[in-house]
Structure 1
Amino acid sequence: MASSTAPFSPFEFMIAWRYLRARRAEGGVSVMTWISLIGIMLGVAALIITLAVRAGFRGEFVDTILGANAHVTVYSAPTEVVENSGIYSRLMRDYEDRAARIREVPGVTRAAPLVRGQVMVTLADRSNVAEVYGIAAGDLMTIPRVAQSEEALGDIDRFGEGIAMGSGLARELGVSVGDKVKLISPNGAKTAFGTSPRVSAYEVVYIFTAGRWDIDRTRIYMPFAEAQSYFNREGGADEIEVDVTEPERVDDWTPQLIAAGGAGTMLWSWRDASGSFLRALDMEDNVMFVILSVLVLIATMNITSGLIMLVKNKGRDIGILRTMGLTEGSVLRVFFLCGAFTGVMGTLLGLVLGVVFSLNIEHVMNFINWLNGGGAWDPSVRGIYELPAKLRAVDIAKAVGLSLGLSFVVTIFPARRAARLNPVEALRYE
């Protein structure tokens, strides 16, 4: 009859559950069970929270890059201005034709000629450096993080009448919409006595927040024709910003973009600019997963300690069950279920705690800021303004699978020890 008993029968679950509910005299077993459960819960929660924060940070970082910068920048190799003059320039004279050819490449969604330059921007007694992007009004409208900024001030439709400025730069200078700022460029008008600095005043008609600290603090957009005149780029452009349908696969467009750009075309993609940082993030993700996996393993090892104590306390019971006809397999499954219950409950509680914590990460960071008096998250170091969290099914599955797998594995050894206990030896001194 015993041999025909199906594995994991209801009576095995019943015995395992009764063993977990230790009497007061066996309080040590109960304490070890709670320690194991809490340890697994905290380990799983920490793993889920870490993976969610890392995924959220990477997603937000990439989104701010792609939402305010080109996926690919097309520019020219240096060419000699006049034969044998020794003077070289990267200025594109045929930028309109190049941009038109690039737009015809399948998968290209945007190709916008740009003029770029560095200036000093001043208002009253305040000054700072800025990077100016000369761009057509229609092309500016296609930059999501600028044209569709949720915290924007002013009217972007008036872009042709003035300039657009990042919110960080505007805050440092004390600029409001409607103020006129002076832009000072060292490469100004060319005279018989050399090049004199160029000083021009422009009205700030639009203030945007792109979501990246370095962009909001340094960037100014100027109408394309005005930028050509201001930076002495008449009839030319410095580069062409290109967006594609799948930025993560931007390298797939390299041959087609070079062919469309013509001789001397060179490319610089967002991966070239930020690839090393993203690779570092991926490496840190792997390291953090390994470290937290070790913490989960340590927590699950407490299950082994608790089960060894339980087997020692229940030696008499095991002997009686074996003499009643319980097989080694049934005894093994009973004690395996004892450990599995602890692992499953700890994992489920850790899953709930990790998900709730990740969904409320903003409130948690606000509380930490309140405790520290601010400064817990420095956007000048991290690049983005807040710590995001992104729960992904694959990350949750990895954390839950790891915890359950380790819990089941560490349970096998003490369960086998209980199954192999000789009933004669167990009952000899009873």
Structure 2
Amino acid sequence: MAQTAPFSRFEFMIAWRYLRAKRAEGGVSVMTWISLIGITLAVFALIATLAVRAGFRAEFVDTILGANAHVTVYSAGHATDDGRMIKAFQDYDLVAQNLSAIPGVTRAAPLIKGQVMVTSAQGPSLGAEVFGIRLEDLKAIPRVGVGSDAYGNIDDFDRGIAIGSGIARELGVTVGDRIRLVAPSGVKTAFGTSPRVNAYEITYVFTAGRWDIDKTRIYMPFTEAQSYFNREGLADEFEVMVTDPENIDAYAMPALAAAGEDALIWTWRDAAGSFLRALDIEDNVMFIILSILVLIAAMNIVSGLIMLVKNKGRDIGILRTMGLTEGAVLRVFFLCGAFTGVVGTAMGVAFGCLFAIYIDPIFSFVNYMAGGGVWDPSIRGIYALPAKLQWVDVASAVGLSLGLSFIVTIFPARRAARMNPVEALRYE
């Protein structure tokens, strides 16, 4: 007897006819639809979740790298000529040049940092952190300087201050208004140190994309900050930006060598590493949980195929007596289950990708239907739910779904292939 090639055309034809159940076999048709919908929803949930997690991580890291130093160089403290201990850099211009000379470093800016209380005539008081910085360095900060989401004229920075949009919103101020900054350690008098209170014009309002930055950060001209915080001739730290922040550890030792003996460093990974590790763990856990969801959906294929094999016992017996081999019967029922898995996976990928691409209007609709306030930036840090569609995530979802669908299909297909044709036709 001539052997037919595996997955011949007639095997596909028989499998397709079995999937198109008659009215009397409506149970099989219902189970097929349940399996199809289950696979679709599981793959959709997996891709949508992976896209949101990837988008959240990318946005979170981008706001860190776009508004904060990649490496912060600060002083452990040293004694001055008059015996005072200070934690600052005196020769900051020379140190900045040394740091800028490190291969891969794009900018090294001296900073003055201090805590203040901010007040205005229009709104309440709130705490803020002041960064004393030069104009050219402020312009180079990606999410704050030129090209960022901001309003006002950044070139007027030297005659005023730049504030975050959260501060402007809380105080009810805008460009051209004046606010008062109160520093606790300010004017030195014969009776001690009294708070320093200065009023400054707002010349620039930025939105860095991080709620905690926009709500607390103020930029002040470097020389004015030195005077305001009694740091004349000093710089508190250096903001170092590099070309490859993902490989930030490679810059640690060169930065320490360039900054001097009493220098210490703090990288962006040190600041956000625990949060990023938590995100990685959560990503892995979510993938495992949703993989179980895909497995449960794939198990519906088994139920449908078992019912199909039971209903088609007579047909299997006839096909076997006509010369169909066990392998051919196995492939026929394997194709029945695989077809459900492939179509369900394709539909799930389509819906998942559409969700990731159109997440902004979808989120706006959900927020509208819920009456607003669905996303609280004070808790989540960023202003919107992001999604980043990565082909690696899509491929892993497709591979998982198809792999599980094919594997679970083998067992009922083998049962059909091993069915004894004599037993199948005994009562016919």
* TM-score between the two structures when normalised by the length of structure 2: 0.98
Q: Which residue of the partner structure matches residue 38 of structure 2?
A: 39
| Structure 2 partner of 1:77 | 76
Supply the distance in 2 between the matched residues of 1:138 and 1:80 (Cα, whole angstroms): 31
Q: Contact 2:143 / 2:149 at 8 angstroms: preserved in 1?
A: no
| 1:204-283 superposed matches below 5 A | 204-283=202-281
Structure 2 residue aligned with 1:91: 88
Please state how far the C-alpha of 1:368 moved relative to its aligned partner.
Answer: 1.6
TM superposition shift of 1:81: 4.1
Residue 305 of structure 1 corresponds to 303
User: Is residue 2:200 matched to residue 1:202?
Assistant: yes
Matches within 5 A, 1:70-149: 70-81=69-80, 88-124=85-121, 126-148=124-146
> Gaps (5+ residues) in structure 2?
none
Q: Please give the alpha-carbon distance, in whole angstroms, between the structure 2 residues aligned to 1:270 and 1:376.
A: 29
Q: 1:150 to 1:142 in 2, by over 3 A?
A: closer
In structure 1, the partner of 2:51 is 52
- 1:95-125 CA-to-partner distances (Å, cap 9, x unmatched) read 1111100101000011000000011111115
Equivalent-residue separation in structure 2 for 1:349 and 1:239 (angstroms): 54
| Offset at residue 82 of structure 1 (A) | 6.0
Q: Which residue type is aligned with residue 316 of structure 1?
A: R
* Cα drift, residue 150 of structure 1: 4.5
Give the corresponding residue for 1:13.
12
Q: Which moved more, 1:414-423 or 1:371-380?
A: 371-380
Between 1:364-373 and 1:187-196, the stretch displaced more is: 364-373
1:357-389, CA deviations, whole angstroms, 9 ceiling, x for partnerless residues?
111111121122112211110000110000010
> Which amino acid is 2:15 matched to?
A
Contact 2:142 2:148 in 1 (8 A): no
Distance 1:70 1:391 in 2: 28
Q: Please state whether the residue corresponding to 1:43 is helix, strand or coil.
A: helix
How far apart, in 2, do the equivalents of 1:138 and 1:150 lie? 15
8 Å CA contact 1:149–1:208 kept in 2: the answer is: no
CA distance in 1, matches of 2:210, 2:124: 23
- Kept in 2: contact 1:181–1:201 (CA 8 A): yes
1:65 equivalent in structure 2: 64
SS in 2 for 1:253: helix
Contact 1:149 1:210 in 2 (8 A): no
Contact 2:91–2:234, Cα closer than 8 Å, also in 1: yes
- Give 1:254 deviation, angstroms: 0.8
Amino acid at match of 1:380: S
Identity level (%): 70
Question: Partner of 1:235: helix, strand, or coil?
Answer: coil
* Residue pair 1:149, 1:209 contacting (<8 A) in 2 also: no
Give the CA deviation at 1:79.
Answer: 2.0
For residues 32 and 85 of structure 2, what CA distance do their matches in structure 1 show? Answer: 75
* Structure 1 runs not aligned, ≥5 long: none
In the TM superposition, residue 176 of structure 1 has moved relative to its aligned partner by: 1.1
- The code of the aligned residue for 1:77 comes to A
The aligned length equals 427
